[in-house]
Amino acid sequence: MTKKRRGKRKVERRRKRKTRLKALAQGVFVAAIWGFIALMGITAWYAYHLPDVSKALDATRRPAITILAADGSEIATMGDLYGMPVSLETLPPALPRAVLATEDRRFYRHFGLDVIGLARAALANIMAGRIVQGGSTITQQVAKNLFLTPERTIKRKAQEVLLALWLERKFSKDQILTVYLNRVYLGNGVYGMAAAARKYFGIPARQLSTYQAAMLAGLLKAPSRYNPRSNPKLAAKRASQVLANMVAAGYLAPAEAKRAKAQKTRSVAVSGGRGFARYFADWVVEQVSGYVTPGNRDIVVLTTLNAALQRLAEAKAKAMLDKTAKKFKVSETALVAMSPDGAVSAMVGGRDYMKSQFNRATQALRQPGSAFKPFVYLAGLEAGLSPESRFVDAPLTIGTWSPRNFSRRFEGEVSMGEALARSINTVAVRVSEGAGRGNVIKVARRLGLTSNLKADPSLALGSGEVGLIELTAAYAAFANGGYGVWPYAIKEIREASGRELYRRSGSGPGRVMDARHAAAMNSMLSEAMKSGTGRAAGLPRPVAGKTGTSQNFRDAWFVGYSAELVTGVWMGNDNGKPMAKVTGGGLPAKLWRDFMAAALQGAPPRSLPGVGPGAGLRAGQKLDPKEKGFWDKLLAAVSN
């Protein structure tokens, strides 16, 4: 091949290469133009659907409901709580520095997007094979918190970037940081550093120590996980990390960080720890709308809760379950304590609120067993019987149903008072049949039981389902001498500014039983705790009460009272699984005794209404004329 021909071929190849490169360059240029147009179109589309930025500083939230115990101490705050706006000048320097060191160290050097931070986060995520770091700036977080939802989509991220750029153009860095510190979420329905300082430490934000500032800054990563109330150890560990970040960022010297850690013992969060009165607080919040309409107002609810009794109830219930749960196959308990006028002083709705928010004191309906019998015997008194009326404990059949005693034996002739104290089933059924099942239900309704009760022969033995709080309130009518009560928790509701919206006045439904019958019931139920099934609950003061055990040991109850306090206890399993032969006279009676003994410690003993020297009904008194009608009705029921 000649040199001339080889030269022509080289020229031809160069020409073709230039042509291909030119075509490629033209293609890339055209693609870039169309890509830019597409990007601008997408950007314009996202920008068109941006939220109204004119409302950047408007707070949209649920009204905060602060719940107070009877002594004015705070139990809980529900809803969203914002503090008064604070400026950087009024905050201790350690607070914004702790936030910047942890969240965005280049905040004052970037334009709303931290390119270096994004590159660092991307590299860390690639090396880890998963998302371990984020690259959002404080400006982006403000954009997201003010305008957008937490959803993770490309559209939301693009809008976040656009809004961050807009914020950087519209506001100064100090203004953006101020908005962030006033609006960031810090757990427990709290927004902003001022509200968080009050919530977690009981002080204004300007008084925060360096350690407390680090603890609040640590919440930003995960408010629930690093909550100083529910997770104090994790919160402290996170605060130490924030202090280390401040040293690395040049905001603190190592010696200063060490001194700040020494402030830890003086940085304990204010009262309201894990689970305190949470079931009670939920119950109160459910009722608030029935009294006032909060609207956008923050409100304060003063309740009847006795903080000391509440802590006592929680401690005693926990101790009882910790000691007996495994051995006796019982997983849950509930307790309600109230004054004889229905004011709820303490409430335990379950073993662990953090695991289950279902309130077994107010929401559960379970069979009360023999704890229902006082209503049967009250109906008997109203039908003309007395505690001395004689019955024969012997086999009994009504239709195809034959009740048996728990002891599986019959006692022969006993008085009605003895039958109640010893919880003899056949006598309770005879009293129910003689008084009339319909009348028994009327008595239960009159005393406050609202659940569905069927007029079956087994009604006398507590086959219907009731709630603990209403059963306890019904017993309060015995404790106060015969007046019905409505269990209540709210004494007063006012705006956060102090303006009164509601104040409780009046009382319950009035007298629901004759004073003589109340005295007779108190006498019989007192004997039940002296010589009957409630002996394990006995106290060295006038008390009365009744045990209850449902079929197959699924539920165990004890409801009793003194002249000062009425308390009901339930124990069992949520799934209805039988316990290991737990009766109302066992664990519930012991829990009742432990709580009541401590609750009434130091209070002088008081007689129950109608029970005292010369009070009550005496043996040998004349037969009430109505008693003959009672026996006629009982004979007819048994004959049928």
- Active-site residue list: 103, 370
State the Cα angle at 357 between 352 and 359, rounded to 5°.
95
What are the φ/ψ torsions at residue 68 (nearest 5 degrees)? -115, 145
Give residues with Cβ within 8 angstroms of 157, minimum separation 6.
none
Helix (H) or strand (E) holding 415: strand 412-415
Question: Exposure string (b/e) for 427-453, b if CB count within 10 Å is 16 or more?
Answer: bbbbbbbbbbbebbbbbbebbbbeeeb
Q: Taking the CB of residue 564, how many other CB atoms lie within 10 A of it?
A: 17
| Closest CA relative to residue 479, chosen from 304, 601, 339 | 339
How far apart (Å, rounded) are the C-alpha atoms in residues 33 and 40? 10
How far apart (Å, rounded) are the C-alpha atoms in residues 46 and 158? 7
Q: Which residue has the tokens 């107070």?
A: 68
Contact 335, 362 (CB under 8 A): no
Give residues with Cβ within 8 angstroms of 354, minimum separation 6.
230, 274, 275
How far apart (Å, rounded) are the C-alpha atoms in residues 403 and 546? 19
Cβ-in-10-Å burial (0-12, 13-18, 19+) of 6 comes to exposed
Helix (H) or strand (E) holding 414: strand 412-415
Strands 65-68 and 299-303: parallel
Q: Taking the CB of residue 16, how many other CB atoms lie within 10 A of it?
A: 10
Contact 571, 587 (CB under 8 A): yes
What are the φ/ψ torsions at residue 543 (nearest 5 degrees)? -140, 160
| β partners of residue 151 | none
Residues constituting the chain: 640
